Structure 1
């Protein structure tokens, strides 16, 4: 069953946001690429187990909000379902090389959400 696999938090000031969330929740931040203002977020569950991962990035518009990404087996298949059920595709499927594919949608209640498909790794 598809579930939330990632979240993104937009920030006007990345350092201020990192300080807030690390002090509030104990979240850890890692910058995977020096060329981007983007940080991976590591969270923990109540028993110290690895929690849902996220990201922190520069806000790109005044109305940008926290975005949840739902993991699905096929972004293409779920984009069709979104439209059949009355939702809208805001950003078509794009590739994130080495990671997977994503698309951004709007539900029937004007809530944005992402669809995420892991890239298949050959062994």
Structure 2
């Protein structure tokens, strides 16, 4: 089974979105630099402490880009073999959006659309 491991939400203003989720939900934000696309990593629960929740996932925020498709909130599914998963997405009637990119220290990532037009992503983590 391939679990949902991450969520993603686009932003127009990095400081504003980080402040909102910190204030509204108490999430911890880690603003990465230009070498990581100015991504903001969100930690949503203390999984090792008393507030930890089974099945809780963390997420992140990415900068909106004029030439990127379907920039809406989405989820990321972890897979063992991204090429094999891309073939399965296509065979099931989905559409893979481009080629996998390498996220340094994380793994291989590519977005896709399901049969209903929703954008999600696949991640082949380095440690999987």
TM over 0.5: yes
Instruction: Provide the residue aligned with 2:27 in structure 1.
Output: 27
Residues in 2 aligned to 1:15 and 1:27: alpha-carbon distance in whole angstroms: 14
C-alpha change, 1:63 and 1:108, in structure 2 (3 Å) is closer
Distance in 2 of aligned mates of 1:2 and 1:109: 20
Question: Cα–Cα, structure 1 residues 63 and 78, in superposed 2: closer, same or farther, change >3 Å?
Answer: closer
Match of 1:92 in 2: 99
Residue 82 of structure 2: which of 75, 86, 98 is its match?
A: 75
1:111 maps to what in 2?
118
TM, length-normalised to structure 2: 0.82
Judge which range, 46-55 or 22-31, deviates more.
Answer: 46-55
CA contact (8 A) 2:30 2:40 kept: yes
Secondary structure, aligned partner of 2:23: helix
SS class of match (1:77)? helix
What is the Cα deviation at residue 8 of structure 1? 1.5
When normalised by structure 1's length, the TM-score is: 0.85
Alignment of 1:5-84 (within 5 A): 5-33=5-33, 35=35, 36-44=37-45, 48-49=51-52, 51-61=56-66, 64-84=71-91
**Cα RMSD (Å):** 2.3
